[in-house]
Structure 1
Amino acid sequence: MTDQALDSSVVSEDPHARRNAFVLSAAAAINGGIPPIAITLGGLAGIYLLGPDKSLATLPVSGFNLGVALGAIPAALLMREIGRRYGFMSGTLFAVLGGIVSAIAVILGQFWILFAGFLCVGLATSFVQQYRFAAADSGDEAFRAKAISWVMMGGIAAAIIGPQTVIFTRNLLQPIPFAGAFFAMSVLAVIGLGVLTLLSGSAREAPKRVEVKGGRSLAEIARQPRFVVAVLCAMGSYALMALVMTAAPLAMVACGLGEDNAALGIQWHVLAMFGPSFFTGRLIARFGAEAIITVGMALLAGCAAVALSGIALAHFWIALILLGVGWNFGFIGATAMLTQTYRPEERSKVQGLNDFLVFGTVATASFGSGSIFSSFGWDWINLAVFPVVVVCVLGVAVAVFSRRRMPV
């Protein structure tokens, strides 16, 4: 029996795998409620703090996504040294700091301090993004897709916690808007920190030496067609989601629909992002990652088509729901495909590289969202969806034709 098979055998018998998946799902529900607050209010707070030129209004949201990208590889390396449990707990401290700094920024009226606060929140979120990998890596191959879906299901609660926190706390410190919601982000992070202390088994310990040394080089791994397609589709689905979602609250307020409707729109969107996770894993197991990614891309195109058809409240909400479901299928499918491209000893560096590439692209998309919306309007945001969908679908076709190659 090979070392890889022995490793898989040990992992499959880990009695803590199911427990850790549920703990990570709960942590995702709480810490995952922080990004919807940042995304809903980032652009609006930017408008509040900026002068006549509003083209940089979404820069705080870009700072958030930049933080996710910059933190991806360090987060993976840190957890490689000290283990998942202490790594995740360390990550929540950035969210505590980021919420406080963001609140201080709007109290003092300083745009660039707000950017710094959102950057910290993004660094914290880079650890949250690793929850799905931690759950997948604690079980055998048959458990991976299910574990990823369980963690993503925590986002259903996050979809309610985040936007409702915005509605109930954004005016808590009147006449200063948004500060109460930013302080609330820190409170959520402290609660999430407590949940993460419940991680057990291998998640509590630093990985064994065999898991952190050796393996192929990143260059060799990255030459695999399935790796390229997995990362491409993860980048495409997440970047399109960020592009449309970042501009949506601005567009809804500009159309006279109000900040509360914008927050509720994000709530429906985040529910749609994570709601399908109840069955996405089973769909991937039955039909394959490629098929589910393709359906996801079709839904993203449908989102753009609905958004282009009108600017009533229903158009925005339906488009945001389609955007969420499309992201779920595209991103979870791409994540499941990625887990098939590396060995246990290679996982930290591959997962870190993947998240760095994904969230670097997302940061660019969110920054471009504000500029495109300010300069060209809501329609052009949605028109940009179609060429990216076409490229990703072509990539999936390449993956289908390469399936007969030697597996990892």
Structure 2
Amino acid sequence: MTTQQQRTMPRVVWGLSLGQALLITGNILLVSVSALIGKQLAPDAAWITLPVALQFLGLMGVTLPAAHLVRRVGRKKVFLIGNLTGVLGAAVAYWALLHMQFTWFCAGTFLLGMAIGVGQQYRFAAVENAGSGQQANAVSLVMAGGVLAAILGPNLAIWAKNDAAGQQYLTAFLILLGLYALTLVVVALLPIKTPSVSEQTGDVRSYVELFKQPLLSAAIVSGTIGYAVMVLIMTATPLAMMTANFEFSHSAHVIQWHVLGMFVPSFFTGKLIARYGERTIILIGCMLLLACQGVNQMGHSYMHFTTALIALGVGWNFTFIGATTLLTRTYRPAEKAKVQGINDFLIFSFSALASLCAGYWQNTLGWAVLNALMMPATLIAMVLLYRGFKLESKQVA
């Protein structure tokens, strides 16, 4: 590693952390208002969370193309395209809300989802720009940018609830537009690595060969289930709190505590992974998800919602960062686009389904049943993770 690389890599990782903070701020702002806007504009109660689901569909749809485009043109150009898409999506959503157009609002959240999907690649860029042995810490540092987002996102949502003309949530999308524009500038100034010759021309194994690795399956399954469970419960929470007669500011603050739970642990998750290993940290994360589901069935007080959502956030942090770090051990340089792409595609496919089910299940089944349904999925993740590591140890032996 050259002296110049040693000087620039910390700047890149810190810059990616700032960019991630700005994007997550926008994501939290979007999550805080999208279901409530859907409740205002949707022609039927079954479609209340369609804008949120389309956000995840946009995210899901862009993951594979973006990952493969990275191999050809590099991460920096792809990140710039992603932020421009976010600017366009925020502008479309603003116009749609101004004119009370549900279809166009859904189109705006779809574009914003595509921008979010590209932004998910920031954690992999951090790994590539970190020093040897620092991959887990690099992922943690980038994810730690969400702490700033946890403070800004919900408060911006509360502040933007009404603009001067009295139109609910309209200002939120002007703020989103500004956040994507600012992130565009941050990324443009970063010296992000370009693809190496080995990354562009090396041999790539088939999906069949890749998935013969037990650790790859374990990483993708645990990351996918952990993310989907978090999305479903988080998306349904504002609706459940509205049903329990809480004010919007109360649900926004619960989401804020949830997001702090998601990202504050990032300051030490990398060190915990280095000390105890990915399996232990992911399993602890799954147990916290189960704790969240249990607390949500015990009552409907502000404290119940807050405690459960904090546990949900920390559980997601451990499962997601643990799974991401584990994933980086399963591919060669030329295979990273293929593996990272299919990983994010599966994660956000199930997250899209979870977000679409959230409103319908909350309205038809209720809060307690919704949470109970997530318990078997979480247990499946734990069993498959344990099995993956057991098979891996047999192959090594």
Between 1:228-237 and 1:390-399, the stretch displaced more is 390-399
Q: Hey, what does 2:247 align to over in structure 1?
A: 258
Are residues 1:45 and 2:32 paired? Answer: no
CA distance in 2, matches of 1:161, 1:21: 21
CA distance in 2, matches of 1:11, 1:217: 37
Are residues 1:22 and 2:29 paired? Answer: no
Are residues 1:192 and 2:187 paired? Answer: no
Q: Hey, what does 2:303 align to over in structure 1?
A: 314
Q: Hey, what does 2:196 align to over in structure 1?
A: 208
Give the deviation of 1:147 after TM superposition: 0.3
CA distance in 1, matches of 2:285, 2:3: 31
CA distance in 2, matches of 1:333, 1:400: 13
1:23-53 Cα distance to aligned partner (Å, 9 max, x none)? 10000111111111111111100011124x3
Query: Which 5+ residue runs of structure 1 have no aligned equivalent?
Result: 1-8
Q: Hey, what does 2:91 align to over in structure 1?
A: 100
CA contact (8 A) 2:76 2:192 kept: no
Are residues 1:369 and 2:361 paired? Answer: no
Give the deviation of 1:16 after TM superposition: 2.8
CA distance in 2, matches of 1:308, 1:276: 25
CA distance in 1, matches of 2:249, 2:32: 10
Residue type at the aligned position of 1:54: A
Q: Hey, what does 1:5 align to over in structure 2?
A: none
Q: Hey, what does 1:6 align to over in structure 2?
A: none
CA contact (8 A) 1:12 1:140 kept: no
Q: Hey, what does 2:158 align to over in structure 1?
A: 167
Give the deviation of 1:218 after TM superposition: 2.4
CA distance in 2, matches of 1:77, 1:164: 36
CA distance in 2, matches of 1:348, 1:18: 23
Are residues 1:133 and 2:121 paired? Answer: no
Alignment size in residue pairs: 395
Are residues 1:32 and 2:24 paired? Answer: yes
CA distance in 2, matches of 1:159, 1:11: 35
Between 1:170-179 and 1:282-291, the stretch displaced more is 170-179
Matches within 5 A, 1:242-253: 242-253=231-242
Task: Choose from 322, 334, 341 the match for 2:323.
Answer: 334
Query: Which 5+ residue runs of structure 2 have no aligned equivalent?
Result: none
Give the deviation of 1:400 after TM superposition: 2.5
CA distance in 2, matches of 1:359, 1:50: 23
CA distance in 2, matches of 1:395, 1:11: 43
CA contact (8 A) 2:129 2:192 kept: no
CA contact (8 A) 1:239 1:361 kept: yes
- Tell me the secondary structure at the aligned position of residue 32 of structure 1: helix
Distance 1:173 1:250, change over 3 A: farther
Task: Choose from 214, 219, 235 the match for 1:230.
Answer: 219
Q: Hey, what does 1:400 align to over in structure 2?
A: 389
TM-score relative to the length of structure 2: 0.96
Distance 1:318 1:84, change over 3 A: same
CA contact (8 A) 1:296 1:326 kept: yes
Between 1:118-127 and 1:158-167, the stretch displaced more is 158-167
CA contact (8 A) 2:232 2:354 kept: yes
Task: Choose from 371, 374, 378 the match for 1:385.
Answer: 374
CA distance in 2, matches of 1:12, 1:134: 18
1:360-398 Cα distance to aligned partner (Å, 9 max, x none)? 010001101111112111112211121011101101211
CA distance in 1, matches of 2:184, 2:142: 16
Between 1:388-397 and 1:238-247, the stretch displaced more is 388-397
Between 1:168-177 and 1:141-150, the stretch displaced more is 168-177
Of all paired residues, the percent bearing the same amino acid is 38
CA contact (8 A) 1:173 1:180 kept: no
CA contact (8 A) 1:11 1:138 kept: no
CA distance in 1, matches of 2:301, 2:165: 30
- Tell me the secondary structure at the aligned position of residue 384 of structure 1: helix
Q: Hey, what does 1:153 align to over in structure 2?
A: 144
Give the deviation of 1:162 after TM superposition: 1.4
Between 1:32-41 and 1:147-156, the stretch displaced more is 32-41
